[in-house]
């Protein structure tokens, strides 16, 4: 009977993989992987049948099509009766459509399917940048979705924008967008933050010998920022919390204070 488990090796080679993740990989009949090439090489030492899904991306190919093909590859192997492991870098369920969709489809077809957590880019970001998402609250959006739909930001909390490299990409290809799209994003953010509000681009390393990249600059310089496909944008709170006196009064009357 086939089964599917989606696991994440974390971000840093040799440093983040859980015992469970490693066991699943070594015991699988077939392992499909969508990770940094260096991580894929490492995973290949744990199982004789590791197949990279990265070749399914194409320069002008719709990313939705690539994701559908990845899902189909996982599901076909499950239907063939294999114990299938899908390895997706970081946490397999964080800003990753294929693992969620494949698990749902496998379950609908009557197979056992589940996910094991991994260390995601934002988990590294909190550690490397010294940010506690509980200090002021923290909002996470996929950058293009944030741009394509009318969303409200709470500027008293942190804002994390994922996939900055694809900001405003209407083509849905793996290509990066540029300063024009980031100017549109900057203007959206200027509705909430001052032009000189300091924001940062964060990039976690893949190798234990590398340092994280943390570039701080004022919001008005976002169009010209040094952005890559692994950049995550961090916008600290731009406004102070406003006390809710009415609610505190209500709570005081309940507690008799």
Taking the C-alpha atoms of residue 22 and residue 210, their distance in angstroms, rounded to an integer, is 23
DSSP 188: H
Active site residue 63: yes
Question: In angstroms, what is the minimal distance from the CB of 38 to ligand SAM?
Answer: 12
Whether the CB-CB separation of 219 and 190 falls below 8 Å is answered with yes
Taking the C-alpha atoms of residue 207 and residue 209, their distance in angstroms, rounded to an integer, is 5
List Cβ neighbours of 148 (8 Å cut-off, separation of 6 or more): none
Q: Which is nearer to ligand SAM, 29 or 116 (CB)?
A: 116
Question: In angstroms, what is the minimal distance from the CB of 54 to ligand SAM?
Answer: 13
User: Which residues of this protein are in contact with ligand SAM, per CB under 6 A?
Assistant: 11, 88-91, 94-96, 120-121, 162-163, 165, 202-204, 230, 232
Q: Considering 51, 79, 83, 89, which one is annotated as catalytic?
A: 89
Active site residue 126: no
Question: In angstroms, what is the minimal distance from the CB of 58 to ligand SAM?
Answer: 17
Q: Considering 22, 57, 63, 126, which one is annotated as catalytic?
A: 63
List Cβ neighbours of 76 (8 Å cut-off, separation of 6 or more): none
List Cβ neighbours of 119 (8 Å cut-off, separation of 6 or more): 8, 10, 11, 12, 16, 90, 91
Q: Considering 22, 51, 57, 67, which one is annotated as catalytic?
A: 67
Question: In angstroms, what is the minimal distance from the CB of 168 to ligand SAM?
Answer: 13
Active site residue 149: no
| Residues designated as active site | 63, 67, 89
């Amino acid at each position: 009977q086939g089964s599917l488990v989606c696991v994440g090796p974390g971000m840093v080679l040799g440093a983040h993989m859980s015992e469970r993740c490693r066991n699943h990989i070594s015991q699988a009949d077939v392992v499909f992987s969508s990770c940094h090439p260096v991580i894929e090489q490492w995973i290949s030492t744990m199982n004789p049948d590791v197949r990279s899904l990265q070749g399914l991306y194409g320069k002008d190919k719709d990313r939705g099509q690539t994701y559908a093909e990845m899902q189909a590859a996982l599901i076909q192997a499950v239907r063939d009766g294999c114990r299938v492991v899908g390895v997706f870098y970081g946490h397999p369920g964080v800003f990753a459509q294929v693992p969620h969709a494949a698990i749902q489809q496998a379950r609908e077809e009557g197979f056992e399917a589940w996910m094991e957590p991994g260390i995601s880019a934002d988990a590294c970001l909190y550690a490397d940048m010294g940010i506690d998402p509980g200090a002021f609250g923290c909002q996470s959006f996929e950058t293009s979705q944030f741009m394509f739909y009318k969303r409200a930001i709470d500027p008293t909390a942190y804002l994390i924008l994922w996939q900055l490299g694809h900001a405003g990409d209407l083509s849905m290809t793996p290509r990066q967008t540029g300063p024009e799209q980031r100017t549109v994003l900057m203007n959206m953010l200027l509705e909430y933050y001052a032009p000189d509000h300091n924001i940062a681009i964060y990039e976690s390393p893949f190798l234990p010998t590398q340092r994280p990249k943390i570039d701080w600059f004022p919001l008005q310089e976002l169009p010209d920022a040094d952005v890559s496909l692994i950049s995550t944008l961090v916008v600290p709170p731009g406004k102070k919390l406003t006390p809710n006196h009415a609610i505190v009064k209500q709570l005081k009357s309940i507690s008799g204070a």
